[in-house]
Chain A
């Protein structure tokens, strides 16, 4: 145990003497979560639009009011004709134009059927489709209100569960936690172990009568602690600043994080056991673990939309399982019995990789 303590102390000394790395490791998570939360948000508020109200009757006015009141749109112009709309797109940079037809109220009452035209700026496809959906939702509510409860036409009712406002912070936070844990635990562990090999200190440790498991564990634990601090920081920011809910147990959430930390550390150790230099360790961790995790974990792109091959490949990277597990705990309020399988998968990955790398480390080449 004395050896393990000494290795831990040494590793912390390395960390605290390398101020820049320490700062980056602690500051990057905060920067990332704020960046994703505030700027790289897919929620749109106050999108500029034009409304061409050809009817100008009481119902059309109510509809326009509903649109303005939603908070998603800001009507910057009321053009008089369709040709003016074209100018609005160019001059006023509107994202969307809505054209309410003549005799809006009349058609609504007699035909029970009205066509409203939406013209979108699709140069940014994501924005256009989100705004379209907003308009559809508002129109949906509007017709509901108008029809009242008396008439019950067949209608499609989509209820958004777990993230009713489709708040993108809820999607990003699990992804950021995953990436940060991979950077701080997997990347830093693989680099710090590769550094011992590169500087030759590893061979001094190998011929010393100290347990090899302690060498690895002692070097990895400090980065797990750093990573845990970062994770808690991210969670606190997302709850306090972005009102992200934690519907499930906080302890279960932390347990999942700790297990994923072990998995990341095991991946880092395994990578370091294959390489001889820090730069190789960094490249392999970034290209072989970080990027696939970002792309295949379901954080940026839905796994269900991927080609079959990539859907299978995604299972190999721990990020997928972790993201499912923490989303379930935070947003659905799932309990241990709902997510034990994901935790088991992560734990088994950690156990197998750690064992293999220890065997490889202890073997003479």
Chain B
């Protein structure tokens, strides 16, 4: 059984085509990641699947209910954590949770086993107004509210954006425990490192899925040889790379430069090193590495264009 099947979902805002025909399935019990930069159409897709927005065309079933016809049934069984903070800032943590529990005809004690791992972290702040929580705590509270009615499908729209690295890690650990309860999760993120934590990911670019697979398969499919080098003057190197005689793709990656070659390493490495030495580039390390999802994303976008 599929948690979601979507066919050719399209949505435009005036001249802007936010979604240009998106089709995909989400399997029951999996964590499905929608990865893409800001403005790719992630939130539009979430608003459509959570029945808040009507698509211009396309069909979908969510939890085996028709998106257009049975949207009230869908609403009963999904949990939604929107991309922007959507709780009452002047109500306390506890008041927010009680309020949303009642709105979903549920109660905190009924769902304690499900929300316990998160609730325990929130407990020291339960009297604090939600607006005065840290970014990470806000999202944990929002997740708590989204889970309060035992949904079977959870939509998390950029849950870790604006959250510190430690809290991000904690948040994904919580998602792991939620998945164990058999809840399917659709999560969007602009952070590529989080994509590897999903069972399957879809790379969303300008309203289209340009690749959909497990993170491992996407990495395995990477065509080319990837090297990373560290230098003291990355700007000089970047400028110089435009004159590189070898066929390659290059981009800064953190403090390093990543270069993708399309021929075997043995044939490209000696001339490349010669090119660098000739131009007086000093570098610490020049190592071949396995690509990350981000490398794959960049390469997929490049080949597509």
Q: Cβ of B84 < 8 Å from any Cβ of A? A: yes
- Asked if A71 lies at the interface with its beta carbon under 8 angstroms from chain B, I say no
Stretch at the interface among B1-9, B23-31, B48-56, B248-256: B48-56
A203 with B86: CB separation less than 8 A: yes
Q: Among residues 82 to 102 in chain B, which have CB atoms less than 8 Å away from a CB atom of chain A? A: 82, 84-91, 95, 98-100, 102
What residues of chain A lie closer than 8 Å to B100, measured between beta carbons? 204, 208
Q: Interface size of B by Cβ–Cβ distance < 8 Å?
A: 29
- Min CB gap A73→B, angstroms: 57
Contacts of A208 in B (CB 8 A): 75, 100, 103-104
B91 surroundings in chain A (CB, below 8 A): 10, 13-14
Contact check, A10 vs B99: say whether CB atoms are below 8 A apart: yes
Residues 177-217 of A, flagged 1 when their CB comes within 8 A of B and 0 if not, give 00000000000000000000001110111111110000000
CA distance A209 to B72 in the complex (A): 7
A9 CB to closest chain B CB (Å) equals 8
Q: Among the interface residues B53, B84, B102, which one has the most CB atoms of the partner chain A within 10 A? A: B102
Q: Which chain A positions have C-beta within 8 A of B102?
A: 2-3, 6
Instruction: Check: B116 CB closer than 8 A to any chain A CB.
Output: no
Complex: how many Å from CA A207 to CA B51? 7
Are A205 and B103 in contact, with the CB atoms below 8 A?
yes
- A residues in contact with B145, CB < 8 Å: 204
The answer to the question of B125 belonging to the interface, with a C-beta cut-off of 8 Å to chain A, is: no
Check B104 against A209 for contact (C-beta < 8 Å). yes
Q: Is B103 a contact of A203 with CB atoms below 8 Å?
A: no
Given contacts A10-B91, A10-B99, A210-B103, whether A201 and B53 have CB atoms under 8 Å apart is no
Of the residues A6, A18, A207, A365, contact of B99 by C-beta under 8 Å: A6
Shortest beta-carbon distance from A207 to chain B in Å: 5
Q: Does A112 lie at the interface of the complex (its beta carbon under 8 Å from any beta carbon of B)?
A: no
**Docked CA distance A364–B69 (Å):** 12
CB contacts (< 8 Å) of B275 on chain A: these are none
Q: Is the CB of B71 within 8 A of A18?
A: no
B86 touches A13 (CB 8 A): no
How far, in angstroms, from A10 to B99 measured CA to CA in the complex?
Answer: 7
Q: CB distance A207 to B88 under 8 Å?
A: no
Are B88 and A10 interface neighbours, CB within 8 A? yes
CB-defined contacts of A204 to chain B, threshold 8 Å: 80, 82, 86-87, 100, 103, 145
Q: Which of B50, B54, B98, B100 has most A Cβ within 10 Å?
A: B100
Distance in angstroms between the alpha carbons of A10 and B130 in the assembled complex:
14
Output the residue of A10, A200, A204 with the most chain B CB within 10 A.
A204
Whether the Cβ atoms of A365 and B54 lie closer than 8 Å is yes
Instruction: Report chain A residues within 8 Å CB of B71.
Output: 364
Complex contacts, A210 vs chain B, CB 8 Å: 103-105
Is B127 part of the contact surface with A, judged by Cβ < 8 Å? no
* A200:B104 contact, CB within 8 angstroms: no
Q: What is the CB-to-nearest-CB distance from A222 to chain B, in angstroms, rounded to a whole number?
A: 14
A90 within 8 A of B: no
Q: A17-40: which have CB < 8 Å to B?
A: 17-18
User: Once the chains bind, are B51 and A364 in contact (CB under 8 Å)?
Assistant: yes
Q: How far is the CA of A68 from the CA of B263 in the complex (A)?
A: 114
- For this complex, 11 residue pairs linking A to B, each with C-beta atoms less than 8 Å apart, are A6-B98, A17-B90, A199-B85, A201-B86, A201-B88, A203-B86, A204-B80, A204-B86, A208-B103, A209-B75, A365-B54
Contact surface of B with A, Cβ cutoff 8 Å? 50-54, 71-72, 75-76, 78, 80, 82, 84-91, 95, 98-100, 102-105, 145
A interface residue numbers (CB < 8 A to B): 2-3, 6, 10, 13-14, 17-18, 199-201, 203-210, 364-365
Top 3 closest A-B pairs, CB basis? A200-B86, A6-B102, A208-B103
